[in-house]
Amino acid sequence: MSFKKSDSTFCTNVKAKLEKIAQSTIYNLLLVLIVSWAVVSMMNIIVANQIIHRIRNESLDYELFREMKISSKLIEDVLSEDDNPYNKSNYYDSYDMLTLYSLVYNYDTLNFKKINKRNSDLILRSLVYDETFRELKKYYQSTFKDIETFPVLQTSDEEANVTFTDTWYAPRSYGGDRRHEGTDILDKDNARGRLKIVSMTDGVVEKKGWLEMGGYRIGIRSESGTYFYYAHLDSYNDDIKVGDRISAGDFLGYMGDSGYGPEGTKGEFDVHLHLGIYIDSKIGEIAVNPYYILDYLQNKALSQVTGQNIEIR
């Protein structure tokens, strides 16, 4: 009998010790988790404050901004602004996020890494009324707000009928040394009068006619005041005249190789559309690089024609 009582006491003592060890272990784990969370949060705050301090002490870099090195994912977000679920559940919109990433990554978001919501909200709360932030956001809105479609009508073929590369600020020599401020979209077949050029936006026809460098060109002022320049056309849509209001997707004319001489000059270069985008800024009207915008729009157009999902980078 005494053996059983001793055995029972031993078991009770062991159980009590195990419970105490378990409670101590859980307490220590919780303590480690709390300390770790506090350290991570503090580090995030420190990093966020460093970013805020850097941005507040920098003025807007127009040359880097004009390069428009923006990832297709961020372009997709701003071009689908009204449908973006982020905007329906957050105080900040897609343009706030684009501006934030642009400033954080020094105007190059091609390979950006997403900032967690806690940090992005912390930074935005401090910067949303900052002069540089507001100015940059305004320029992005002017650039993207009215864009709806790729400027060359895609055929039903499964492959793109045009090709283009990033030639922003490449040297040009006709008419004197200068820099290329646009993107050249080339007809793969190099055949003038074959491909239809359409308006990327709603707007008003502001210019139509011959320019020595641009050949037969059309200039359209969008609703936001941005100027879209379509140059080197082979011929116009005769129904369009200066002052007309047009819609995105309206036919403007055919791709050609006009320009670099007196009116009617053709054949001085390969058949292509020169596309220029110009926005108003504090330093006057400036051109911005259309390449990454066009890259996104072409992938979207091909997806619609072929029914295949084109990866948005």
196/179 Cα distance (integer angstroms): 27
pLDDT tens, position by position, for the chain (313 residues)? 444 556 666 666 666 666 666 677 777 777 667 766 555 555 666 656 677 778 888 899 999 999 999 999 999 999 986 655 555 556 889 999 999 999 999 999 999 999 888 888 888 988 988 999 999 999 999 999 999 999 999 876 667 899 999 999 999 989 899 999 999 999 999 999 999 999 999 999 999 999 999 999 999 999 999 999 999 999 999 999 999 999 999 999 999 999 999 999 999 999 999 999 999 999 999 999 999 999 999 999 888 776 655 444 3
Residue 54, C-beta contacts closer than 8 angstroms, at least 6 positions apart: none
Clarify whether residues 223 and 110 are in a common domain. Answer: no
Q: Is residue 43 part of a domain?
A: no
Structural domain for 72, as ranges: 62-144
pTM of structure: 0.83
| β-strand partners of 198 | 251
Number of C-beta neighbours around residue 188 at 10 A: 13
Q: Which of 95, 116, 144 is the last residue of a domain?
A: 144
Clarify whether residues 110 and 191 are in a common domain. Answer: no
Q: Are strands 183-187 and 251-255 parallel, antiparallel or unpaired?
A: unpaired
Count of CA atoms in the C-beta half-sphere (13 A) of 29? 6
- The CATH number of the domain where 228 resides is what? 2.70.70.10
Clarify whether residues 256 and 175 are in a common domain. Answer: yes
- Roughly what angle, to the nearest 10 degrees, separates helices 72-79 and 94-104? 150
Domain count, the chain: 2
